[in-house]
Structure 1
Amino acid sequence: MRAQEFKVNIVGLSQKAHRFDYEFGDEFFKLYGQVLLEGGQFKAAVTLDKRETLIETNFRIEGTARLICDRSLEPFDFPMDIDRTILFKYGEEEKELSDEIVMITRNQQSLDIGQYMYELIAVNVPMKRLHPKFQEDDLEESDIKLVYSSPISEKEKDEDAIDPRWEKLKKLK
């Protein structure tokens, strides 16, 4: 698998919707770096709708990512179902305006769809990676409310006691 397989030549595309289907696995993650994932198997349907001023790109990615459990260090498969849209607007310089809008120049020949697919998968990796066998334990732990209280010292007890002068004033009511 080469990175070229995921580059789409946008100059040659007509102004209409174009669909690209990809299937990728562990080799894909080696191409783009596998910092967060051990690997996985995915199918992606990418629709590029080229218009005069922008390219609307819809990513539909389904599959399983192989993750390492934070608790037991066992590998497990985590299912993912991603549906995101990224707009590539034509402008004077190349820059990312937001998570969903990227400015590109009219001179740009191609889009690296693979990089965006990798980033969408990486963003969907959970912060807390728990093997499914620990999911119930985690839910039970989240229901427990931990309350910490230290023993009351003698000084605090004295502060809680009412000053005798104030006590006499209360009796005047």
Structure 2
Amino acid sequence: MHSFLSEKVKELSKYNIDIYGLEDKQYVYDMESGDAFFEELEQDLIEQGHFKTHVVLNKSATMIQLQFHTEGAVTLTCDRSLETFEEPIHSDERIILKFGDHNEELTEEIEIISRNTNRINVARYIFDFIALSLPTKKIHPSLRTEDDDLNLEDDEEEAILVYSSAESTDEQPEEEEPVDPRWEALKKLKGE
């Protein structure tokens, strides 16, 4: 039992970055893992896979910027045939950690971390970026059609096009289109 726990700690400790005492400059880390990584994170989405992550850390007096480049493949189960297949993964993402007096997640990309933080573990960030890069429909490559290759963004664009063409046939002026309140809030922040 004890050796299992120490292996678990050892696997995730590969993703520790000691930030205490780092100078204000750029640092580079290369990390690589396989099935053990996915097992140790106690999640049900991915059981097997292998990947390499290149992390570029830029430290300044007020923040740490982390740039993640991940490549590899994970084993998924097809939603249609229930056969397993390898899905390639490719991800370029970033996280900004701002120094403050407490820990808080502000957005998906920006977090506040305590000034007293000595070490960060980037395993959860890497997993989240891998999970986000996976297709919404898990279809075996041999069963895929052009429709399956369309991602969610394409579907959204299609819906918008259909909506705008229907609007143009009614010949309603564009000014009457309701404005998303989030855009209004962003305009206020920009001072427009």
| TM-score clears 0.5 | yes
Cα contact 2:104–2:111 (8 A) shared by 1: yes
Matched, 1:59 2:68: yes
Q: In the alignment, which residue of structure 1 is the partner of 2:135?
A: 126
The TM-score normalised by the length of structure 1 is 0.76
Relative distance call for 1:76 and 1:23 in structure 2 (3 A) is same
CA distance in 2, matches of 1:139, 1:62: 22
Cα RMSD after superposing both structures: 1.6
CA distance in 1, matches of 2:26, 2:58: 4
Matched, 1:38 2:47: yes
Q: In the alignment, which residue of structure 1 is the partner of 2:13?
A: 4
Query: Where do 4+ consecutive residues of structure 1 move more than 3 Å?
Result: 137-140
CA distance in 2, matches of 1:75, 1:33: 20
Q: For 1:4-153, what aligned pairs fall within 5 Å after superposition?
A: 4-136=13-145, 138-139=147-148
CA distance in 1, matches of 2:63, 2:146: 48
Counterpart residue identity of residue 14, structure 1: E
* Higher relative helix content: 2
How many residue pairs get matched? Answer: 140
Structure 2 unmatched runs, 5+ = 1-9, 150-192
CA distance in 2, matches of 1:73, 1:100: 34
Q: Tell me the percent identity.
A: 37
State the 1:137 CA deviation: 7.2
State the 1:130 CA deviation: 0.3
| Structure number, greater radius of gyration | 1
The TM-score normalised by the length of structure 2 is 0.69
